[in-house]
Amino acid sequence: LAAQNESLVYKIITARVIDRVTSGDPDEPVLRLVLEDLGEIMHERTFSKEYAMATQISSIVDAVSDDSLPELFHQIDATNRTLVNRFSLENVWSLLQKLAETAKFATGETGANFYVDPGGALRFKKYGAWTAATKVSDGSDGNAANILDIQVRETMKGEPKLVNDVLVVIFEEEALPRDEDSLTESVEGWSSPDPTDGGYPQSDTGDFQAGTASIHFNTTNPGTQYRMRCEFSELDISGFDS
């Protein structure tokens, strides 16, 4: 799956389609694809091979990829630790996890990350191979908040479970007004079809939930209900549910 302006070399994701759901109106159809991360195949495959001579862990990972994950290409950091072992029908995920924990590198690092990237490549990379200048945070970890929320759902396969469903909430919806509050900063446009005390509604700068003010209505004869109304000079509500 690639964006409209991208080639299939640089993909959004390479995955297996496990379900599709159609919805929407005839003039605005929606097709939702339910995909499975290609990393899932590591839980379904096995690997068997004997290494009678000392062999670099990175060479073993290379063989695992070639023999058990032929649909993937790979990028593997060269290791500085060898093994002598016989593998018989080893689960690929469990084996790669053991190799990653055991791997050592010439630059001194011990341990590696492994995963299938969005382009369909198995990456076996030493710890600290990448850094990011900006952290993705909702503010709960003490860092500056730059998203509203992050939700992670793990698959049911593997131990520890493989995370392949991450939802980053950058914004929830486009609202008008964009700050979701400025309509209550001024009494302009506000009224009520019910009896209202003289001088009301008015701006109340002492009692508000957001911004600098709220709209204050007052009536000495409320009856069973009291209605408030705001007239919008311009408001585009296309795309919103009624």
Say how far apart CA 192 and CA 183 lie, in whole Å: 16
Q: Do the beta carbons of residue 129 and residue 82 sit within 8 Å?
A: no
Query: pLDDT value at position 195?
Result: 79
Low-confidence ranges of the chain (pLDDT < 70): 1-14, 132, 152-181, 224, 232-242
Query: pLDDT value at position 235?
Result: 54
**Measured CA distances, 64 to 20, 87, 178, 235 (Å):** 32, 11, 52, 59
Query: pLDDT value at position 153?
Result: 63
Of residues 10, 30, 7, the one with CA closest to residue 20: 30
